[in-house]
Amino acid sequence: MTTILCVDDNADLVELLSELLTMMGYMARTAPGGEECLRMLKEEGFHPDLILLDIMMEPMDGWETLQHIRKLPGNGDIPVVMLTGKYPIMSEVETYGSMIDDYLMKPYHPNQIDELIRHILSRAEQGREVIRKARECGFDEGLLEEYRHLAAEVEVLKRFREIIGSTEHFNDGILVKAESRFSVIKGQLATAGVQV
């Protein structure tokens, strides 16, 4: 069963979200903040399939929690979706754009969250499949790691552009760079007969 960890300091919201996810057929667990989330991962050895992470939390906010998660051995590749009421700014996009799997603004509809989870999991699954085949073809592990990151990053950057594009100038440069590198890798894989 797919397990999802919901991290939010708003008790009502995190409880409700957990109930909804359970109703949707996921196994949901909650953490009231970044510290508890890290404790569960480190001490309990809990390895969820996805983490839904709020940003505005005290004392450890979502961004800091994310950085710790990415450094945890064995947990560095858990998909993390930022689920927040905080409007992103360009500097955050530049710093964290390559470290997350999606960014969803509150308030969101139950269907939206269901679709998002399915999409993230399916993308992760597809990615794993591509990587397996590519590995068989003898591709370099570093390149495959890069492919996995870029698959998420390109979508995340597009999401950010969608959210903040109307307010401030979105630096398209980083998206163009990520997309072109992703195309190059996909081209290399396709040439070798790996379906992407």
- Residues engaged in binding other proteins (CB under 8 A): 10, 12-13, 16-17, 20, 23, 55-56, 84-87, 89, 91, 105-111, 164, 166-168
CB of 76 to other proteins, least distance (A): 27
Give CA angle at 155 (141, 101), nearest 5°.
Answer: 70
CB of 104 to other proteins, least distance (A): 10
- Nearer residue to other proteins within complex by CB, 3 or 10: 10
CB of 157 to other proteins, least distance (A): 17
Question: What is the helix (H) or strand (E) element at residue 105, kind and residue range?
Answer: strand 102-105
- Nearer residue to other proteins within complex by CB, 16 or 72: 16
- What is the C-alpha to C-alpha distance for residues 84 and 63, in angstroms, rounded to an integer? 11
Determine the 3-state secondary structure of 194 from DSSP: coil
- Nearer residue to other proteins within complex by CB, 71 or 169: 169
- Nearer residue to other proteins within complex by CB, 89 or 192: 89
CB of 93 to other proteins, least distance (A): 12
Tell whether omega for the bond before 88 is within 30 degrees of 0, i.e. cis: no
- Nearer residue to other proteins within complex by CB, 17 or 152: 17
Rounded to 5, what percent of the chain is helix, strand, coil? Answer: 55, 10, 30
CB of 101 to other proteins, least distance (A): 20
Determine the 3-state secondary structure of 28 from DSSP: strand
52: exposed, middle or buried (C-beta count within 10 Å: 0-12, 13-18, 19+)? buried
